[in-house]
Chain A
Amino acid sequence: MVTGSDFVPTDDDIAIVAVSQTPAYRLWNDSEQMLIMRCVNDLLGSTGMDRNDVQFTIAGSCDYLSGAPFAFVSNIDGVGAWPPVYESHVEMDGAWALNEAWHRLMLGDIQTAFVIGSGKSSPGTPRHVFPLQTDPYTAAPLGLDYPSIAGLQANALINAGKATERDFAEVVARSRRAAMSNPNAQVSGDHSVDELLAKPHYSSPLRLHDLPPISDGAAAMIIARGKRALELTDRPVWIRGIDHRIESHHLGLRDLSSSPSTKLAGEKVGVHDGPVDVAELMVNFSHEEIILREALGLQDHPNVNPSGGPLSGHPIMATGLVRIIEVARRIIEGEAHRGVAHASSGPALQQNLVCVLEGGN
């Protein structure tokens, strides 16, 4: 059911006016710039804007993934290398690029921004890359990889009596089934929970299907301030709020079976100040959905990750932005009026960003 709050946008409100994403590819055999260019051309085409009309560009990407130093500089080719753009970059998922762009537009002197997230994980080995994000003295030399940390977190969830391996399999079964209607999904299918539980462990209690696929891909959007947003589209998606919270990088200082940072971000951003028609959560490992639903008060919500979520496609550095795009797209298409998107970064949901979106003009 599509419902609304009493929100009336003003010129100081900021809206998503167009969204674009590539499919998640197991291997995109061309440059990351080409992925970005496809999204940028798509956005310009759908809004009728000239590239020079977009006043700010911000991208999230990670040079470590494809092993190409300064790849983030050549990524600007995808936007058009000349005339120079007013540009910023975050070594974070594109969801954090949106966070910066949203704050940037609040200053009021510019009206529009490109937000981009892109990544090619296929050339490298994520399991080797991401331990380098952990503590360089006490964790990185152990090769403490994300699947192993996720295994520790899933085990903590079971030890706390909050979930079972069957619950994890149910998340996977539902996600892959949902992904069957998502043309951008890389992994989809109809699997029974028992069939999934019969597979061997990978990083126990997780199995390989509890992990995200390795993907290449990009996502992008154009956001604009109130008046300009209404000039550019008759279906603006208003950003009602974004909040980002971080927990300690010492895993031993955290209760891995819960996500207080997500809970706090959700409260600050007012997730339940209106009806939640749809939620897209950055569930990189199946057990995370259980933790995130609890943190956001969405335990029994019927419409979480209708895209299939990251378990069906995980273009690292775009995955979080894709969550926001998936919610925005449903609002644009009239399937939802108000929704919640979540993005995470770091091991075991260390950092969490929650964004509330709402339609209406």
Chain B
Amino acid sequence: MTDLSDLIHTIEYPYTRSTGPYLGPFLTGLRDGKLLANTVGGRTYCPPIEYNPESGEDAPATFTEVGPGAMVLGCTWVTDPSSKHPFSHPFAFAMLLADGADVPFVHAVDAGSPDAISAGTRVVAQYRDDRRGAITDVYFVPEAAAVDQSIEPGDEPVLITEHLISLVVREPLFPHRRRYAEGLLSGRLLGQRSPVSGKVVVPGRGYDNLNRVPLTEADELFVSDRGTVSSYTVLTPVQYYGQKETEPYIRCSILLDGTDSPIIGVDVRDIALESFRVGMRLQAVWRAPAERKVDGLDNRFGGSWEDVIERWEPTGEADIDPDSLKDYTW
């Protein structure tokens, strides 16, 4: 039996951002071991700023080096770093004013102990060995802990900065989804019938979204695993980050017998596209019990069809009139 413990999803997106005429030189500077600033309205900004915040006028894209020393104006000691922080051990985030600059910025200080940092503490920029043209190339340490670094400048300016966003989402299967998942593992499709309209939806949502009525276990029933194609499309996979599909395939909706809303997102890979059609009768062929799994299931629309149903087989019955399926395309 597949574990029905918490759902865990990781949502990732690798942002690649163009750096532009201000942050580009700044990030190039970090890669090359320098803190760069620009000046507008008589004030020097590190990191450089695109506009004068007082007036909105464009700031000049000309840069001077500031630092490497900086003054701590304020700080917080992070006792329990998150996996997104620059250090896995406790450290400080601090408001830092680089020597030669007039406006502070927030960055991380690897101070060793909360007693080693407070307003007025002098710190110095240090650079990581693996520099990528990103704000994380630099960090700061108290003056006494700074070491001299010899950094070779890179060849090309930093035109792109990368940031992989990754969020982990964890939640239990909602009670009605858990019962639905247990049904799938036992080779049955569990639906919910609204006590108000009598309409049967599979999988149920836990409520009737037309009449705003919560649905409970008492409203549940097993439905047929035989039905009619009510709509379909052919997906040709685009090779985006995370894409696992390589070949075109059919994605269809099937109106199961005795239900009032089709199951959606059913992928078909073994029926020739030329013979596939709305109105076609199909029968689920379930995987062997030991092969069924539901760990691809979420708490929303997904039916996790391919993890429990091996394929959908044409029954050979006469087609249903497509006109009668017009209200069941989705």
A34 x B108 contact (CB < 8 A): no
Residue of B nearest to A131 (CB): B84
**B168 sits at the interface (CB 8 A):** yes
**B222 sits at the interface (CB 8 A):** no
**A94 sits at the interface (CB 8 A):** no
Contact of B174 among A29, A150, A201 (CB under 8 A): A29
**B169 sits at the interface (CB 8 A):** yes
Contact of A68 among B15, B103, B300 (CB under 8 A): B300
Residue of A nearest to B102 (CB): A252
Centre residue among B19, B82, B83 by max chain A CB count within 10 A: B82
**What residues of chain A lie closer than 8 Å to B211, measured between beta carbons?**
80
B163 x A30 contact (CB < 8 A): no
B212 x A30 contact (CB < 8 A): no
Contact of A252 among B15, B103, B171 (CB under 8 A): B103
B56 to chain A, nearest CB (A): 12
B175 x A30 contact (CB < 8 A): yes
Contact of A204 among B79, B84, B95, B174 (CB under 8 A): B79
B79 x A30 contact (CB < 8 A): no
**A180 sits at the interface (CB 8 A):** no
B27 x A137 contact (CB < 8 A): yes
Chain B interface category by residue count: 35 or more
B107 x A34 contact (CB < 8 A): no
B207 to chain A, nearest CB (A): 6
Bound complex: CA A141 to CA B47 (Å): 15
**A166 sits at the interface (CB 8 A):** no
Knowing A125-B168, A136-B163, the reply to whether A253 touches B86 (Cβ < 8 A) is: no
**What residues of chain A lie closer than 8 Å to B165, measured between beta carbons?**
132
Knowing A29-B175, A80-B210, A128-B84, the reply to whether A200 touches B79 (Cβ < 8 A) is: yes
Contact with B along A130-153 (1 / 0, CB 8 A): 011000111111111100111110
**What residues of chain A lie closer than 8 Å to B23, measured between beta carbons?**
137-138
A144 x B207 contact (CB < 8 A): no
Knowing A31-B206, A34-B206, the reply to whether A203 touches B79 (Cβ < 8 A) is: yes
B166 to chain A, nearest CB (A): 8
Contact with B along A229-249 (1 / 0, CB 8 A): 000000000000000000010
**A2 sits at the interface (CB 8 A):** no
* The stretch of B69-77, B231-239, B281-289, B311-319 that contacts the partner chain: B69-77
Q: Which of A40-82 contact B (CB under 8 A)?
A: 40-41, 51, 64, 66-68, 74, 77-82
B11 x A40 contact (CB < 8 A): no
Bound complex: CA A82 to CA B136 (Å): 49
Chain A interface category by residue count: 35 or more
**B244 sits at the interface (CB 8 A):** no
A142 x B175 contact (CB < 8 A): no
**B78 sits at the interface (CB 8 A):** yes
**What residues of chain B lie closer than 8 Å to A124, measured between beta carbons?**
167-169
Bound complex: CA A141 to CA B137 (Å): 10
A40 x B84 contact (CB < 8 A): no
**What residues of chain B lie closer than 8 Å to A201, measured between beta carbons?**
77, 79, 114
Contact of A128 among B82, B86, B107, B174 (CB under 8 A): B82
Q: Which of A204-228 contact B (CB under 8 A)?
A: 204-206
**What residues of chain A lie closer than 8 Å to B210, measured between beta carbons?**
80-82
Contact of B95 among A74, A150, A251 (CB under 8 A): A251
Contact of B212 among A51, A136, A204 (CB under 8 A): A51
**What residues of chain B lie closer than 8 Å to A340, measured between beta carbons?**
none
**A33 sits at the interface (CB 8 A):** yes
**B188 sits at the interface (CB 8 A):** no
**A123 sits at the interface (CB 8 A):** yes
Please list the residues of chain B having a beta carbon within 8 angstroms of any beta carbon in chain A. Answer: 9, 11, 15, 17, 19, 23, 27, 47, 49, 53, 73-80, 82-86, 93-95, 103-108, 114, 119, 134-136, 161, 163, 165, 167-172, 174-176, 205-207, 209-212, 214, 299-300
